[in-house]
Structure formats: C-alpha cells, structure tokens
Structure 1
Amino acid sequence: MDPVYSVFISCLLIGLLVGTLAGMLGIGGGLIIVPLLSYMLVHWLGLATDAAMPVAVATSLSTIIFTGMSSAWAHFRLGNLNSFIVLWSCLGVAAGGTVGALVASSISGHTLKNIFAVLVLVIAAKMIFGRNWVSGNTAARPALVTVGGFTGFFSALMGIGGGALMVPALVWFQVNLRQAIGCAAMGGVILALFGTASFIVAGWDRIDVLDGAIGYVYLPATLGIVTTSIFTAALGARLGQKINTKLLKRLFAGLLVLVSVRMILGIE
C-alpha cells in the first residue's frame, strides 16, 4: 500500500481515539497526534526528524480548527463564554500562538521534540497529582492577556489546544471553572487559526516538506483525523458519564509519561 494511504487510514483511526478521549476526558488531541504522526512521517514517509516535528505540530493544530469549533459552539449555547474573559485572554492567545508557531518552525526538530516531551511530562504530572488552586487575585485585563499569551505560546510549540494550561491558570485568577473551560475551548480555536496560519507561512518555501502539505500542514493527515474525530467526540462525552474517568485519566497520564521518556531518549 502507498505510504500516503497508510498514513491517511492510520489518521482515521487516530481521529477515532482522539475524539473519544477528548469527549470523555477533556484531553487535547495534540498529546496523541504529535508523537504518533511524527513517528509515521519519519518511518513511513521518510521525512527527516527536523522536518517531521514541525509538520506534526502544525498538522495537529490544524485539526483543532475544526474539532474546536463544535466545542466552542456548545459552550456558547450553554452560556459559558464570558465576553470579557474571552476577549482579553484570546488577544494573548493570538499573539502567543503566532510567536510560538514561528519559534517551533525555526528551531531544530530534535529540540522541538524534547521541548514537547518535557511539557507533556508536566501536563501528565498535573493530571496525576494536580488540583486547581485559587489565588486572591481577580482576572483583570493584564492577567488575562498574560495567561492567554503563555498558553498560546506553549500550546503552539506542542500542537495542542491549550485547555490543560489555560483552565488551571484562569481558575487561579478566580474564574468560574465552567467559564474557564468555555474560554479555553474558544481560545483553542483562536490558537489553531493563528498558529496554523503561522506554520503555513513559515513552511511555504521549504523544499523538504512532503507533497500534499501546505507549508508545514500535512493535509492528508488533517483530513483523516478530522473526518472521524468530529463524530466520536459526542460518543466520548456519553461514555464519560458512565465510567470512572478519574482512573482512566491517570492511566492515560501514565502512558504520556512513557511516550515522553521514549521521545527524550530517542528510542524508536
């Protein structure tokens, strides 16, 4: 089978998993997409690691444009989008996401891989041991822009929606949890739009990127993941009401630790 078709079919399956886990646990798909896609790009399509990592990150961000819209719309209908919080935090997200994507496309793929792995370890530790703390500070404009900026920057480096970073940061500034989650959903769409556009511009003239890519965004993988993940998110949400998601989230975090260690050590 043509390797491109193999990647596309595999991304259909990844989309099934990503959508289900996102709906069930509220986990961004980039934590799954980036390591799996980077592996396929290197071992199935023969792409060098220096090019594979930014392609994997950019492609992951591009999928969030589509999958994140349904989540943001759902939170809008539920009344979870506070216009003040969304406006100022998303301004920061747009700026941080643009800078993060440009940084990710300019550093070596090996460096980006290690940064991704270390940040995933931090997120996994938060999932296993963490809890949301609340400070005595309220969410003023500078705080919201700063939270959005940091979230956008690091999420663009990782190819994730940013909820794992933004939600606890907003809760720290006394934002209601539901509003924090709704803001993170909207911020994910803004991040994906600005980050993806930056990756497209940065990779436009790269000759070592694959056919079928626009800049650093590999369209066959984007299409495969989005095609299935938009349908399985609703299924995941229903499953989340019936099973012990706390235990499952910790097991998933343990898997993330193993993936991160493998990436840091360079184990194939």
Structure 2
Amino acid sequence: MKTQYTLLSGETVEFATPTGELGTFLCRVLAAAKDPAVSEAELNDLVFGPENPLLDRTAVAGRSVATADVYRDPTFHVMLDCVARKRLPVDAAVTTPRTRFTVTVPEAAQQLGISESAVRQAIYAGRLRASKEGGTYYLDPHSVAGYRVSKRGPRRQDQEAKGPPGGTLDARIGSGPDASFRVKHSRDDFELTEKRGAEWTGMIPSGWRRIAVLGTSKELSRYWEIEPAEGESVLHFEGFYLRGGFRIVET
C-alpha cells in the first residue's frame, strides 16, 4: 500500500505506508503537527529525538542521529515538513509553486528588457526565484518585479548581513542522480566527513553571515537565503539538507 503526501514545496512524495513502530510514530508526528498546543520546538525535539525509529542509534554513542540515509527516506521528509508547517501562522494559506510562480521566461525577459538566456542564467545563479514544472520554468512575479539588471554582476550574498556570525551547520550538499543542492557564502569553506560521488556530507564552519541555497531537480527549482539565528532549523531538499542555527530570510 502506498501513501502520497504533498510537501510545502509543492512536491508530492510517495512511499510505502509505514507499519509497526514507524507507522505509529508517523501518526504521532502528523497529529502533533495539527495540534496547536504542540510548539515547533517540541515537534522538532520529537522528530530528532530517541523515539524516532528512523534515526541511527549506532553512529554516535548515546545519541539518535539523522544520517544521510535517513534524509533520503521520504517518510523523514514528511516529518520535516510537519516541523516546517509549525512555522506558518494558524490561518495561513498554503500555496503550491504553480500558484505562486506564474511568470514565464519570455514574459520575464520582456518585462526586464533582457534576453531569455539572461533570465535563465539569473535563475541558475539563484538571483531570480523560479519553479520548474514539466521542463518549463515559471518565475515568482515579486522576484521579477524586484530584480535589478546590473552590468556589475551579483552582489556578495552576505555583503549587507549584520549581527553576529553564524555557527557550524551540518550539511549534505552537491549533486545526485535526480537533484542538486548548492550553497554560496563568502567563506565558501566546507569540512568534508563523507563523500559519495558528487554528494558531500559534512559541516559549514562557523563565521558565515548569509548563505544562498539553490536546490534543483527535474521538476522543481527552489532558492533560499538564510542568516544566523537562535535555535535549530532544518532546510531539506530531495535528500540534501542544512541543519543548525539559522532562519530563512528569503525564498
């Protein structure tokens, strides 16, 4: 039996309906996500706590760890999505990428007075927010309206960032068979702990101030910017992730 679940990103994941301990735990997470009495922090602690049967209990003594294999599991994507939904206002309407991203590449090119190729380059660089569906890019009209064509090239992502620098982030980045997840910041440091082909697992060292993140797959392209913040957050995309003290300031 299969279960389908639509993530906040608009992506639909399909997976074998879990049974036993995992099925019971997933039901707890889904119920907690709908319960206004359960906070985001409490749900996050549940998902990353010792009761989650998906987590690896052997990687680190005395701890339950979300390994790269755990992040590949679509059931874990559902759990992370439940945590993300806790950040939304109670009455917030959830929009799918297709209802938010409505401007075609030719329309954006005409509006900005640049070539379609330049629009695509801006999408690839993360300077224009877009969603890819069925091989076609659709852009966020607000991103297009706020875009400034410049001959000087893009500004450094953390040039205007203020406040204390960020701490260490756990990360899995790079390119896989079906998706890629890339980060860009002024330090561009990465401490590698595991490498599988072009997929890197490790840490982004402390000292960063703003990070641009671009996730692309066959059907979807997403862009985020994050800056340091208290508490712990998780940003995940097609099995890739960032985890640590940050908040999303632009999507």
TM-score (ref. length: structure 1): 0.26
Greater relative contact order (Cα < 8 A, sep 6+): 1
Which has a greater percent of helix? 1
| Greater gyration radius | 2
TM-score (ref. length: structure 2): 0.27
Which has a greater percent of strand? 2
